[in-house]
Amino acid sequence: MQKSEENFNNFKDFPKNYDYQAVEKKIAQYWEDNDTYSFDFFDTEKEIFSADTPPPYVSSAHLHVGHVMSYSQAEFIVRYKRMKGFNVFYPMGFDDNGLPTERYVEKKYKINKSKITREEFIDLCLKETKIGIETYKALWKSAGISVDYRLSYSTIDERCRKTSQKSFIDLYHKKLIERRNEPILWCPQCRTSLAQADIIIEELNGILYDIEFKSSSGQGLIISTTRPELLGACVAIYANPLDDRYRFLNGQSVKTPLYNKDVPVKYDETVDINYGTGLMMVCTWGDAEDVRKWKENKLDTAIIIDKAGRLNEASGAYSGLTVRDAKRAIVDDLKKLSLIKGEKPLLHNVGVHDRCETPVEFIRELQWFIKILDNKDKFLEAAGEIKWHPDFMKPRYDEWVNNLKWDWNISRQRFYGVPFPVWYCANCGEVILAKEDELPVDPAAAEPDIIKCPKCGGKEFKPETDVMDTWMTSSMTPLINALWAYDSRAADKKKLLDRIYPMSLRPQAQEIIRTWLFYTVVKSIYHTGNIPFKNVMISGWGLDKNGKKMSKSLGNFVGPEEIINKYSADALRYWASKANLGQDLRFNEEDAANGRRLLIKLWNAARFLITNVNEGFNPYEKDVSELELGEVDKWVITEFENTLKICGNYMESYEYSSSLKAMVDFFYNVYCDNYLEIIKNVFWDEEEENFDRKDKALNVMYFVSFNMIKIFAPFFPFITEELYLSFYKNFEKAGSIHLSNWPDYRKELTFESSIKTVKILLNILEASRKLRTSLNLHQNHKIDKLLVKTLNNDYISILNSVNGDIKSAARAKRMIFSDEADFKTADDNLFIKIEK
């Protein structure tokens, strides 16, 4: 580092090799030391661009390059906006409360929940939370993610607890939240209730058993079920009203086998005549359909499964067995009685808990619900006001909302989460809310701020011991960022709510559309009547090289540190840039290697300019428009401006990948392979006529390359910053390239005729390269004569106007028009010949 300081003004010694490991460390520190990415709270002029950064959840052990991919993709846009002059509000959140963290800690420490106290467990969670945060920070820093860490939050910290609890109280007052005793989704493994969004449908192998029941008239009835263990919970038999076979059962009851219990026969159009025998056993409660029929038809209640997923006393002889064991035992018993009339293997869809993949059950418990079913229309409408990138992701949201079946249960029978700000009167059960200015509160550790129950006068209060669903907090992130929970207290902070909310951008992964995105819309509509953000960008997945989604459990896992160390963070980001938004992206090390090649090429192209600059060089002595430009200069600038325009359009529509591709194409094909190749020769021909040409070329190179690395800056923040600080900054004002302005497209710098002219030159150049190859001539061998023949008279004056550049590019001492030229170029009117 010291060395580069010494050589700061000695461009001739600009390092030959790009030492990315040292540079990236140095630059990351430079950003930190200079608060490069700080949001300016006091700037009220600049328009704000605020991003609702996804809080990654604690177990950083699962991190892979796919995570860096999605964060980078969001960041390309954020960095672009920063360069476009926005005051960028880009916080980092850490999602570390709730079930995911608990599951992680349980697994890591092999915890038996009955042998550990709530406090000990929470301590372990807090400890892992801290470790997770540090690991993440280190990774994001090394990956160049430009967040403002002063704006960090953790979903278990005071601000988030306060915000979540205030949300609860606000919704309670708005009557959008209520406590109900009804069947809920339950995970027997995690011993907690769940919401619909926590359930995923999995295709599992099962067996469809044909079991014989008896009608009250003594007739055998075959009923197909995959859940014989629920026989004891059977409360009705259903048939389709149009099914002639079972009309006779009307008014009869049916006796269940083993239990010999009489259950009524009912009819419902939803029963599929063609499934099994057309008869359906309805239980308390095997699935959502059972719950619906139970509710609508006021069926009996026969609960036989407990919270641990075991059968209870009501199941008789099977009490104490797990659902799985009970199924086996009951099937055995039925077989002994010859009541199993058939069994066939069946692939069926089972709802399982997304965190542990345990099939969920229905049980009845008092739970808190946020009402969402009543307002589906509002949530659909809100999503319509948000701009979706890419727009084909929106139907997933609509589909989810349209299919919602349950209100949002936010009660979780767990430890590590935000507590409900609620007590109950021990006498009458009246709900006692915490006072808003006391939030956050832990009702288990504090008393309510009243002496007696306002309803019954009771003086004892019991705290709510459940914690809130982790999404209860995550759904608040825009309002956490905006300090919504504090707005009634501090006037200046309230301004922040007005300034950054709704947020400009929500970047996120596709699999949490139904959770993070949906719940955030719900909360925002309910709390503020406004959408939470104006744009949402949905990233695809990082896949392994075989096209499978990366995951720890599959072991097809590539760690970002490894790739950063080997190829650099910029190179990893290059890989991340290859997929446009919403597209999955395979990880091949080749792509990172290609990224590194590009960086090295950038380095060397810059080095050519830097090492050729003489003392006193001033790129701003004259604006490029005032220089007497040659055709080739005009051409490279025109091509650059055209590309710049394209890049800007792409970035505006979040198509960062196409933007980068366009500029990389320009960089390779136009700038390096042709412009530098054409003009570089003048730098070592010490002929006086070249001096002026050199100066102009340096100015052109400065203009083009500086603007070009600005376009690259969002993608490759490290190398562009290094080039900027070690060279360009000597002539510029901004303290960082990332705080410099995205270049404006300048129409007056496009010279369309130069493209035609240089096309002729390039055709000659290409042909001469081919000729050299076939003649075994070195590309650098200076030939004596380049003979040119053209069938188009208009070309003659054009060729004369770029005579010098043609000679230089083709490494020829002279260019002569001659009919001897017989090697056809790509242009039918143009022939050349080489004389050594």
Partner RNA sequence: GGGCGGAUAGCUCAGCAGGUUAGAGCAUCGGCUUUACAAGCCGGGGGUCACAGGUUCGAACCCUGUUCCGCCUACCA
Element (H, E) at 672: none
The backbone torsions φ and ψ at residue 40, rounded to the nearest 5 degrees and listed phi first, read: -95, 100
Choosing from 61, 201, 428, 554, the residue that interacts with RNA (CB under 7 A) is 201
- CB 166 within 8 Å of CB 758: no
- Residue 547 C-beta: closest distance to RNA, Å: 6
Choosing from 138, 337, 346, 734, the residue that interacts with RNA (CB under 7 A) is 346
Which residue lies nearer to RNA by CB, 504 or 768?
768
- Residue 310 C-beta: closest distance to RNA, Å: 20
Choosing from 465, 779, 792, 803, the residue that interacts with RNA (CB under 7 A) is 779
Q: Is 824 in the site for RNA (CB under 7 A)?
A: no
Instruction: Please identify, among the stretches 45-53, 127-135, 213-221, 574-582, the one whose residues bind RNA according to the rule CB under 7 A.
Output: 574-582
Q: Directed axis angle between helix 689-712 and helix 631-652, to 10°?
A: 10
Q: Among 709, 742, 487, 435, which residue's Cα sits nearest to residue 598?
A: 709
Q: Is 836 in the site for RNA (CB under 7 A)?
A: no
Choosing from 403, 530, 653, 803, the residue that interacts with RNA (CB under 7 A) is 403
Interactions with RNA, residue window 207-226 (CB under 7 A): 224-226
In order, the DSSP letters of 693-719 are HHHHHHHHHHHHHHHHHHHHTTT-HHH
**Assigned token pair, 802:** 């770029």
Interactions with RNA, residue window 554-573 (CB under 7 A): none
Instruction: Please identify, among the stretches 43-51, 128-136, 138-146, 346-354, the one whose residues bind RNA according to the rule CB under 7 A.
Output: 346-354
Which residue lies nearer to RNA by CB, 166 or 573?
573
Interactions with RNA, residue window 679-718 (CB under 7 A): 680, 683-684
Q: Measure the CA–CA gap between 531 and 517, rounded to whole angstroms.
A: 11
Binding mask 227-246 for RNA (x = CB under 7 A): x-------------------
Choosing from 275, 620, 691, 731, the residue that interacts with RNA (CB under 7 A) is 275
Interactions with RNA, residue window 519-538 (CB under 7 A): none
- Name the one residue in this structure whose structure tokens are 């309805």: 282
- Residue 170 C-beta: closest distance to RNA, Å: 28
Q: Is 668 in the site for RNA (CB under 7 A)?
A: yes
Q: Measure the CA–CA gap between 245 and 225, rounded to whole angstroms.
A: 19
- Residue 470 C-beta: closest distance to RNA, Å: 18
Interactions with RNA, residue window 53-72 (CB under 7 A): none
Q: Among 602, 572, 828, which residue's Cα sits nearest to residue 709?
A: 602
- Residue 355 C-beta: closest distance to RNA, Å: 14
**Assigned token pair, 318:** 């099977």
Q: Measure the CA–CA gap between 709 and 242, rounded to whole angstroms.
A: 73
Q: Measure the CA–CA gap between 560 and 375, rounded to whole angstroms.
A: 42
Instruction: Please identify, among the stretches 57-65, 325-333, 555-563, 586-594, the one whose residues bind RNA according to the rule CB under 7 A.
Output: 586-594
- Total Cβ atoms within 10 A of residue 416: 25
Q: Measure the CA–CA gap between 815 and 806, rounded to whole angstroms.
A: 8
Binding mask 73-112 for RNA (x = CB under 7 A): ----------------------------------------
Q: Among 571, 477, 558, which residue's Cα sits nearest to residue 520?
A: 477
Choosing from 156, 280, 592, 651, the residue that interacts with RNA (CB under 7 A) is 280
Interactions with RNA, residue window 449-488 (CB under 7 A): none
Question: CB-based burial of residue 492 (10 Å sphere; 0-12 exposed, 13-18 middle, 19+ buried)?
Answer: exposed
Q: Is 589 in the site for RNA (CB under 7 A)?
A: no
Q: How far is CA 692 from the centre of its chain?
A: 51
Question: CB-based burial of residue 330 (10 Å sphere; 0-12 exposed, 13-18 middle, 19+ buried)?
Answer: buried
Q: Measure the CA–CA gap between 353 and 356, rounded to whole angstroms.
A: 6
Instruction: Please identify, among the stretches 162-170, 211-219, 436-444, 607-615, the one whose residues bind RNA according to the rule CB under 7 A.
Output: 607-615
Please name the residues in contact with 380: beta carbons below 8 A apart, sequence gap of 6 or more.
398, 401, 402
Instruction: Please identify, among the stretches 63-71, 168-176, 439-447, 674-682, the one whose residues bind RNA according to the rule CB under 7 A.
Output: 674-682
Choosing from 112, 205, 553, 776, the residue that interacts with RNA (CB under 7 A) is 776
Choosing from 118, 127, 180, 597, the residue that interacts with RNA (CB under 7 A) is 597
Interactions with RNA, residue window 291-330 (CB under 7 A): none
Which residue lies nearer to RNA by CB, 279 or 363?
279
Q: Is 446 in the site for RNA (CB under 7 A)?
A: no
- CB 199 within 8 Å of CB 354: yes
Give the binding-site size for RNA (rule: CB under 7 A).
Answer: 78
- Name the one residue in this structure whose structure tokens are 């010279």: 751
Q: Among 707, 393, 664, which residue's Cα sits nearest to residue 537?
A: 393
Q: Is 365 in the site for RNA (CB under 7 A)?
A: no
Interactions with RNA, residue window 737-766 (CB under 7 A): 766
Interactions with RNA, residue window 783-812 (CB under 7 A): none
Choosing from 584, 695, 732, 835, the residue that interacts with RNA (CB under 7 A) is 584
Terminal C-alpha separation, the chain = 48
- Residue 68 C-beta: closest distance to RNA, Å: 17
Choosing from 156, 585, 637, 815, the residue that interacts with RNA (CB under 7 A) is 585
- Name the one residue in this structure whose structure tokens are 């096309």: 759
Q: Is 552 in the site for RNA (CB under 7 A)?
A: no
- Residue 46 C-beta: closest distance to RNA, Å: 33
Choosing from 510, 565, 763, 801, the residue that interacts with RNA (CB under 7 A) is 510
- Residue 224 C-beta: closest distance to RNA, Å: 5
Q: How far is CA 410 from the centre of its chain?
A: 24
- CB 516 within 8 Å of CB 474: yes
- Residue 682 C-beta: closest distance to RNA, Å: 10
In order, the DSSP letters of 545-604 are TTSPBP-TTTT----HHHHHHHH-HHHHHHHHTTSPTT--EE--HHHHHHHHHHHHHHHH
- Residue 346 C-beta: closest distance to RNA, Å: 7
- Name the one residue in this structure whose structure tokens are 């002219």: 757
- Residue 518 C-beta: closest distance to RNA, Å: 10
- Residue 198 C-beta: closest distance to RNA, Å: 11
**Assigned token pair, 255:** 């006796």
Choosing from 272, 621, 652, 822, the residue that interacts with RNA (CB under 7 A) is 272
Instruction: Please identify, among the stretches 253-261, 526-534, 697-705, 778-786, the one whose residues bind RNA according to the rule CB under 7 A.
Output: 778-786
Question: CB-based burial of residue 110 (10 Å sphere; 0-12 exposed, 13-18 middle, 19+ buried)?
Answer: exposed
Choosing from 216, 270, 753, 803, the residue that interacts with RNA (CB under 7 A) is 270
Which residue lies nearer to RNA by CB, 13 or 40?
13
Q: Is 378 in the site for RNA (CB under 7 A)?
A: no
Torsion of CA 795, 797, 799, 800, to 10 degrees: 160
Q: Is 653 in the site for RNA (CB under 7 A)?
A: no
- Name the one residue in this structure whose structure tokens are 């002539």: 731
- Residue 607 C-beta: closest distance to RNA, Å: 4
Which residue lies nearer to RNA by CB, 401 or 479?
401
- CB 704 within 8 Å of CB 671: yes
Which residue lies nearer to RNA by CB, 276 or 743?
276
Which residue lies nearer to RNA by CB, 36 or 568?
568
